[in-house]
Structure 1
Amino acid sequence: MEFGTLEREIYVGASPEIVFDVVSSPEHLKEWWPDDARYEATPGAEGEIVFGDPSAGGQVVQFTVVDAAPPRMFSFRWTHPAGDVAKEGNSLLVTFDLIPSGEGTLVKMTETGFREMGWEAAVLEAQYNDHATGWDYFLPRLPVYVATLEAHS
């Protein structure tokens, strides 16, 4: 296995406009992925996402918006050291491409940059597998959450 790029696809039964809001806005993001999110959904904006309770072993992760092209694409860099500018080599790049499909949207999620981080082989494999497991858990929550929005509209 190369441990270079993670790719996942999932169908969401909502328009790309709705799905874009759900993958880009902190208010929606924290309903299906992190426990909290603080950032502006504009290119260059910096912030953070939080998994769990930081005072009880949870993790605060740096987050920088790279691109936002509603309703087709949203990308960000994350995992870079606090205080550093996110760039290739110190962060991972996640891109959500949103493709109209029938009555809904095909979400293509790509995460790259694992090999560029300079990790030794065992760390690279562990990080890659950790992210793969995470996306396999969290991405299926996306269409479930969107369905709750659709039910309330």
Structure 2
Amino acid sequence: MKVTFDKNRDMTGYKTFRLGESEVTTPLEMRSFNEKVLREKVYEIIAKELTEKGLHQSDSNAQLVISFIIGYVERADMYNAGPFGGTPGSVTSGPSVQDSKIGTLVIDLDDRNDNPIWRISANVRYVSNDILGQIESAVEQGFRKFPHKVKTKKK
């Protein structure tokens, strides 16, 4: 996870955001999901996080524009477990292969003049079928240091 932003920029003046462009980079033959639904869910996760930070979604004249790129590739990792790496009673003399999915999520938050404000770059090894849960976790972690907070009224 890598988060980049201008530490000298005062971000407290930003109050509104809108959804911009998105791109899914997973090769067509590897997609096991509905692209439209995935885009909507990722936007929903990002919008929820920004709303919790005190920003408001506005389709017209928004100060910040959200865009993202998301995708995954399947990968096969080969390793040699050695004589003690297998299960009891098994002989592991050759290499083992483990298939996995490596996902990439890049979220850009730019001002309306296309100046970069905040960028999250996350690489995730999908270890379960809860891909949306892992995306939500990456978004939450990426915006953790975002300066806005919802102000609570004191009683």
TM-score by length of 2: 0.30
TM-score by length of 1: 0.30
Give the number of the structure whose alpha-carbon radius of gyration is greater.
Answer: 2
Whose helix fraction is larger, Structure 1's or Structure 2's? 1
